[in-house]
Amino acid sequence: MSTEQEKKPATEPTPAKRSFSQRHKCALFLAKATLSLGALVVFYGAYLDWQIRSKMDGQIWRLPAEVYSRIESVRLQDNLTLNDVTQLLLNNDYRQTTFVAAPGDFKIENDTIVLLRRAFPFPDKMEAQRVFRLRFSDEKLTVIEDLINRTTIDEFRLAPKLVAMLQSDKEERLAIPLQNYPRFLIDTLILTEDRRFYEHQGVSPIGIARAMITNIKAGQTVQGGSTLTQQLVKNLFLSNERSITRKINEALMAIILDLRYDKNRILETYLNEIYLGQNGDTQIHGFELASHFFFGHPVREISLDQIALLVGMVKGPSLYNPWRNPTYAKERRNVVLGLMLEHKMIDKELFDLLSQRPLGVQEKGSIARPYPAFIQTLQAELRQNLGENKSASLLGARIFTTLDIKQQAYAEQAVVDATRKLQLQTKNPNLQSAMVVADYKQGEIRAVVGGLQTEYAGFNRAFMAKRQIGSLVKPSIYLTALSDPEKFRLNTPINNQPITIHIKGSQPWQPKNYDRKYSGSVMLVDALTRSLNIPTVNIGMKVGLSKVIETQQAMGWDKVSIPKVPAMLLGSYSISPYDVTKSYQVIANNGGKIPLSTISAITDRQGEVIYQHQTEPEQVVPEQSAMQTLYAMQQVVERGTARSLQNDFANLHLAGKTGTTNDARDTWYVGIDGENVATIWLGRDDNGETGLTGASGALEIYKNYLHRAEVTPLKLKKIDDIQWVGINSYGSWNCYSPVRNIPVWADKGQNFCASSVKPADLPPREAPAPVEDAKPAE
């Protein structure tokens, strides 16, 4: 045996065995690779599933808070006319039609109104939609019939108007339940975008093929290949990047989404998520918000052709924007209407009618930001009450405000109209103005106007501008004095001679009356009526600056910087119109302070109340002194600086106060009727001279407002310990032949008439000089 033979192994693998070994290794590698790939797919699928569930089972969107106007009611007791009710319905976005078919419709026939009241989740409870018939007799509402329950009722509430949304993340949407979407919209959407929605498992190869064939036949893209589920995945989880990776992720997530959730949940999310337009830098998501944005109505209340337009815009919101590209939008709408005709959702006659209609969109951007000054004031109040870090608690909340749409319109029209006239009259184009209207019995802000550009969310002069208040400070000083009836009553004589006040470390201060006229003395009530400076300073110094400031802070100026110097008695410091209104709310409400609020209630998405405005007043000053001050302010209108109101409004017995600052830089007026207090400022942003006074400037805006608004007369409240006692022209008690009667606080049960004597019995040498009946200073 050779050496080579000795080294040769006993057995040697055959070619067949070597081939088997290689196949075995290859199979093992493939198995490992498959297992690894499978594990990777499982883990990746689990990751995608986690992404989907974390969003779908949690907070899908950072929903904006919905802001609603004041809740209005139709009541028999209010003696409303047919015109009153009609205007109320129109203000709350109801539509006058010839046939009542949808929520928000109403029709007028002879002396009746039939309306379909919208369902709405009010703060206290959810109320279903109802059909009401209102009967009028002699133009007055006499009967309200609930045609569903077949009964008569005394009143019903109207769903308030959606006035704004406090946005989040530069997205806006109004998410509503699936059952609130019109069936016609759902059917049209599925027909146009995904006909096998209820059959496929998230991805539809058949649908893709059908879309390709349909688009080829039409010569244009009328159907998309992606399912609604895929579109939802793209909008909710992915970007718009065009890549194979995104399409794979889209398909995988669509399959997972379809496995995890039922079709109706997916459809509801899609309807509320789909992107349909842009409002400035804010995105418009969901059909409900898009309906408000383009048509000014909820999606349940738009017509079939408008539904077709919204569905058609899904394919390209920018391309088919009805404001930017109306021709393309109409063509796309008619394509959708053609599909509806082809599938017998509508007939040929209806198709011809709808396809010829104009687009029916509202004026561009009208949803943008109505009532900006009111909304700014509301947002400031939310920050104050909830804090900067609690905004998450408002996600999806409903904020029910105190905004009275009608009052807001009156205030806006008055500010714009009267200020423009004053600009022309004074040749001063830089005049600006602001106005606040509040219900003083409820402490609720009804209207806020921040400037002449009433739809511009810029500088809110009503809330942010702080200007010297001048004579507006005086009622709080007189009220402080009248709170001490031992020393001050309305007929107390007050010195009206020039005075000099020495101030340590400063030059002597010599206040002057506005008209530079003086007299020996003047009754306290007439000093306020004529807005005299010298008597006001005398009263304030006798009462004490500390006491005056204490009263002002109790009345709502607790956050105002009030200097403790004699000049503060003539309003030498600056306050916003909003803060001015706080003090006058207390006077108008007989000393009862209710913090002013733009918010009535806030509910979360489930309808639970999370905030409620409290309207129980706190008695911060004696009601007797507040009532006497209010009477003196009535005298301002009857015979004082605001007496020009008597020409047209004497029957309303209004109370008011004018205000003018140095060099006529700021003009003010505060008016009080039987329900509301209105504060008006007129001046220039650059603090320049206006050439006007409170009586010739701000008061003119109030007059304009009164001509528009429905104002109730002011009646002084009957208060314990207040007696109406006669006085003569000297201010002495005279119950026999009084010149006028004044309210007097009988704090110790006094009988002032018992000490009264006839004028003839009073010795001439003892008679005080009669009060000078000078003309008002402002």
Catalytic member of 471, 521, 600, 625: 471
Q: How many helices (H) and strands (E) does the chain have?
A: 22, 31
- H/E stretch holding 153 reads strand 151-153
Residue 193 a catalytic site member = yes
Alpha carbon distance 134, 574 (integer Å): 51
Residue 417 is classified by DSSP as: H
Are 580 and 659 contacting, i.e. CB atoms less than 8 angstroms apart? no
Nearest CA to 250 among 210, 305, 208? 208
- State the first-to-last Cα distance of the chain, in angstroms, to the nearest integer: 142
- Three state DSSP letters for 619-642: ECCCHHHHHHHHHHHHHHHHHCCC
The token pair at 246 is 């995104």
Question: Which residues have CB under 8 Å from 250's CB, separation 6+?
Answer: 226, 230, 233, 234, 238
Are 158 and 115 contacting, i.e. CB atoms less than 8 angstroms apart? no
Q: Strand 599-603 relative to strand 130-137: parallel, antiparallel, unpaired?
A: unpaired
Catalytic member of 171, 193, 675, 778: 193
Alpha carbon distance 208, 607 (integer Å): 42
Burial 179-190 (b: 16+ CB within 10 A, else e): eebbebbbebbb
Alpha carbon distance 163, 157 (integer Å): 18
Residue 471 a catalytic site member = yes
Alpha carbon distance 88, 405 (integer Å): 9
Residue 203 is classified by DSSP as: -
Nearest CA to 436 among 597, 612, 589? 597
Distances (CA, A) of 774 to 314, 497, 536, 667: 73, 14, 16, 22
Alpha carbon distance 350, 304 (integer Å): 10
Question: Which residues have CB under 8 Å from 621's CB, separation 6+?
Answer: 479, 483, 551, 554, 555, 586, 591
Active site residues: 193, 471
